[in-house]
Structure 1
Amino acid sequence: MKTEFENLQQNIAHSYDVDTNSDKQVLKIYCGEVLIAKKIKQKKSIRYFGVRDYQKYLYSV
């Protein structure tokens, strides 16, 4: 999921937003107004989340 998440983030059709609180960082990726993926980084833990069928957003332009 890490590589696919990076591909979603680098796609010019998508925008992203980063929220940082002390030891927790949340990066959200949007396609238009729709949240399609999220990465939560807390201390040494990194978790990735994607919507169902997120693969269709990988190559959308």
Structure 2
Amino acid sequence: MKDVLKNFLNAYWLRPETALWRTLDVESMKGFEFAAPSLDLGCGDGTFSFIRGGGSIQG
């Protein structure tokens, strides 16, 4: 959870509360598996899906 929070804090550095909420979203979805291929429609800029999928944002 710490790594996910760090990634979201790097992405949402001006909105730390958003980073916390998105981290809690990821934690609540831990048991849900995305089957490939998958498509994220109308859900923002893709940052959540990127980090949820294992991506990393360096700060």
TM-score by length of structure 1 reads 0.30
Higher percent of residues as helix: 2
> Higher relative contact order at CA 8 Å, sep ≥6: structure 1 or structure 2?
2
